[in-house]
Structure 1
Amino acid sequence: MSGKFKAIIAGGGFGGLTAATALAQRGWSVTIYERQPELRAAGAGIYIWENGLRILDAIGAKVVTPGSFRGLAMEQRGYDGCVLDAGDFPPSVRLITVARKDLLAGLRAAAQKAGVDIRTSTEVISAGADGDLHFTGAHIEKADLAIGADGVWSAVRRSLGLELFHQQTDEGALRTIIPGTPEDLGLDGQDKYIECWSGERRFLITPLNDREIYLALTCQKTDLAAKKSPLDKESWKASFPRWAHLIDRTDQVLPWAPYSIVKVRSWSAGRTAIIGDAAHAQPPNLGQGGGMAMQSALALAVHLEGITDRRDIPDRLAIWEEKERPLAEHCQRWSRLYGEVSTLPDSMRAKVVTNAMADDWIRGEFLRAARSIPTGTERMAPRRL
């Protein structure tokens, strides 16, 4: 295409950077507009499953290092400390955990290497269906393709009339990264991710490397003691006494925030598309929010390969959505279902989790996205870690 086509993107998060890089690598001229003074990732840690790792390799984003933690299993423990499920991941399904800022840095570096122009402190307030983005100050930029990667409160989605609903869940989380090593999980937990349940509270323990551990403390919006910021350490230690040594290290905790679920009529209107949380926000229970954002972003670029006339873009976007949307919505459904288990009484939840995760079909549904081969990575062999 020799740079013939131009794309403009609202939002410099995981999805926006992935789309920008993939398009630029295919000859597009790409500009990202980010409203913040600098690119930054909200949150603390993030799970990168096999599908996400393949995407990072495909666009040349260097995120995973030899020191990144690779867990071999996810272990769920009940209110009394008993193990409800300890299923190992299939050898073909890798899972790496990193700090969100490190994932963002790797994606930003890949975008800059590909020639993407990143402009900060520039807020998109609306969009049109002709590949146009509208900014504060009545400024308008036009391109062959516009992309809204502007998150759960997407101005692009809203202005195009694509939103069916945006629901915030009753469950949310406080998140932090503390100093620690895998040895802090005990001899029986050093190669695992551990999720503990106590009443309607959850405590997720995720090593990131040999120096840091990511913690997610999940509760209902009505649990005022659990939601406090600064963290009410004594309240959380009473729920999870086994992990008091980790809770004591939580000096800085991000405020409690609910999860979002976004449903839309379509992923595009004319020559303007939406990706990531703008199109399919989901609770983090499957660890696939970032993965799905990157997966739909790479696929968008692949589906636009070979075009010679921008009038073909709407049809290509329709094909892209038809191919990619079912998996994103599958993750939404199963992530929401998993979150509802939190509201069950302890004894009932223990039985539900134990019996459900013993079913090969259910376990397979939870891993469907991780086992998928993202569009644009079909010919790649997994990189050894």
Structure 2
Amino acid sequence: MGSTAVVVGGGIGGLAAAIGLHRIGWEVTVVERAPVLNDAGAGISLAANGLRALDELGVGTAVRTASRGQYNGGTRIPDGGWLTRMDGAALEEAVGTPITGIPRSTLHRLLREALPAECLLIGSEAHEIRPDGPAPVRVTCGGTALDADLVVAADGTGSRVRSSLFPTHPGPVYSGSTVLRAITEQAVDLHTDFELTWGRGAEFGHIAFNDGRAEWHAVLTLPAGTRFADPLAELRRRFHTWHDPIPALLDATRPDAVLHHDVNELRTPLPAFVAGRIALLGDAAHAMTPNLGQGACQALEDAVTLAAALATEPTVEAALTRYDTDRRPRSQSVARAARQAGRMGHQLSNPLAVALRNTAMRLTPSRTAVHMILRHHAWTPPRLG
């Protein structure tokens, strides 16, 4: 079996894949087109499956130390009433670890630090991937040619590699939602670790961090491409009557800290996650809506599964077949569930439908809610050694 890989994309999934390959003895180069890894981004929740994957990659302890467990909170309505309460202790007892919140920049830094610096080729874009040269795959980056036994395409929702491999696939589509998010500039007086609030056609949520700051996000049901001259002012206008601490979170945020992205997804599932010696991973393979908080966790599962297959199968081809067989059904199932959660959550706008959903959620026993979460969180990673 070969032992040289090129990972296209230096995000969470790409770095995790590189760590996994490095841990099984492969020589890895991560090609990232951004000229500077400036740790942009807001916050992220990591569920038990993502944390277990990080454990197998050898960075779980560091991530847990930098994270804040989500033990209390839940889902509310704009006047502050509770639909469901989070029982983080019960979830921790069931799966062995709580959901944790961490700034994306911190997670990204911890992943980078787990790799030798020479693995990272920053400010270089993979222009062409061809099955020729002295190795099975050649990646051309500007004037540099990298020969490899394997290419891992972790180049995101708009993956150029995926488009070249599956030219007839429709690619990502707009989910109907756009999200604005930021991390507060200073600590905020919060009484919960995590909250979601559902209004008609809108959602507001927060994740508390170790240092007292918080990540917040606002999801709006709007036409694709909608932008605001002053995003923070627009959010204050839309959410000023919603319960505390929503106004306080917005007031603790710098206007230039607000990020705004449309939520795109691969609504049409891919027929395969592999083609020849190329494997798709993370959003490039299964971009999903964020309603279950599983996008990064599924990418981390991909990374560990791929490395384990390469460590145990006799050939790269056999390993990629196993990777596709193991990952495609699960990740695509999670993507469907996330899409459905969005339709039953913030995207609901009909008053009667909202009232029925709210009543059903209030009547759902906590043990039933925990069981529903376990469908996605209770994943055991393959061993890397």
TM range (shorter): 0.7 to 0.9
Match of 1:175 among 181, 186, 198: 181
Q: 1:86 to 1:261 in 2, by over 3 A?
A: same
1:227 positional shift = 5.0
Q: Aligned equivalents of 2:297 and 2:118: distance in 1? A: 21
Q: 1:314 to 1:365 in 2, by over 3 A?
A: farther
What's the counterpart of residue 281 of structure 1?
287
Q: Aligned equivalents of 2:375 and 2:156: distance in 1? A: 24
1:76 positional shift = 0.7
Q: Aligned equivalents of 2:86 and 2:104: distance in 1? A: 26
What's the counterpart of residue 272 of structure 2?
266
Q: Aligned equivalents of 1:159 and 1:64: distance in 2? A: 35
* 1:368 partner letter: R
1:362 positional shift = 6.5
What's the counterpart of residue 332 of structure 2?
329
1:221 positional shift = 2.0
What's the counterpart of residue 19 of structure 1?
17
Q: 1:67 to 1:347 in 2, by over 3 A?
A: farther
Q: Secondary structure at the match of 1:165?
A: coil
| Superposition pairs of residues 314-325 of structure 1, within 5 angstroms | 314-325=317-328
Q: Is the 8 A contact 1:283 1:335 kept in 2?
A: yes
Q: Secondary structure at the match of 2:172?
A: strand
Q: Is the 8 A contact 1:125 1:156 kept in 2?
A: no
Q: Secondary structure at the match of 1:94?
A: coil
* 1:234 partner letter: R
Q: 1:228 to 1:332 in 2, by over 3 A?
A: farther
Tell me the matched-pair count: 365
1:199 aligns with 2:203: no
Q: Secondary structure at the match of 2:231?
A: coil
Q: Secondary structure at the match of 1:142?
A: strand
What's the counterpart of residue 126 of structure 2?
124
What's the counterpart of residue 301 of structure 1?
307
* 2:335 partner letter: Q
Q: Secondary structure at the match of 1:64?
A: helix
What's the counterpart of residue 146 of structure 1?
151
| Superposition pairs of residues 24-103 of structure 1, within 5 angstroms | 24-61=22-59, 63-64=62-63, 66=65, 68-89=67-88, 90=91, 91=93, 92=95, 93-103=97-107
Q: Aligned equivalents of 1:146 and 1:224: distance in 2? A: 33
Q: Secondary structure at the match of 1:264?
A: coil
Q: Is the 8 A contact 2:83 2:361 kept in 1?
A: no
Q: Aligned equivalents of 2:378 and 2:229: distance in 1? A: 38
1:166 positional shift = 1.3
1:72 positional shift = 1.3
1:266 positional shift = 1.0
1:354 positional shift = 4.6
What's the counterpart of residue 218 of structure 1?
219
Q: Aligned equivalents of 1:156 and 1:225: distance in 2? A: 28
TM-score, length basis structure 2: 0.86
What's the counterpart of residue 382 of structure 1?
none
Q: Is the 8 A contact 1:147 1:274 kept in 2?
A: yes
Residues 128-180 of structure 1: CA deviation (Å, up to 9, x unaligned): 4543323345x542211111111111111111126453112110210100045
Moved more, 364-373 or 292-301: 364-373
What is the root-mean-square deviation in Å for CA atoms of aligned residues? 2.7
Q: Aligned equivalents of 1:216 and 1:234: distance in 2? A: 13
Q: Aligned equivalents of 1:56 and 1:295: distance in 2? A: 9
Q: Secondary structure at the match of 1:53?
A: helix
Residues 210-261 of structure 1: CA deviation (Å, up to 9, x unaligned): 3210000110224999955431253134342532222212213434211121
Q: 1:66 to 1:161 in 2, by over 3 A?
A: closer
Q: Aligned equivalents of 1:221 and 1:122: distance in 2? A: 35
What's the counterpart of residue 234 of structure 1?
236
* 1:21 partner letter: I
Q: Aligned equivalents of 1:179 and 1:42: distance in 2? A: 14
1:256 aligns with 2:263: no
Q: 1:244 to 1:167 in 2, by over 3 A?
A: same
1:291 aligns with 2:297: yes
Moved more, 71-80 or 144-153: 71-80
1:369 aligns with 2:376: yes
Moved more, 98-107 or 30-39: 30-39
Q: Is the 8 A contact 1:219 1:226 kept in 2?
A: no
Q: 1:237 to 1:259 in 2, by over 3 A?
A: closer
* 1:375 partner letter: P
Residues 344-376 of structure 1: CA deviation (Å, up to 9, x unaligned): 235532431452571666653443221111223
Q: Is the 8 A contact 2:265 2:288 kept in 1?
A: yes
Residues 91-141 of structure 1: CA deviation (Å, up to 9, x unaligned): 2341110000000001001122xx76111111013424543323345x542
Q: Secondary structure at the match of 1:265?
A: coil
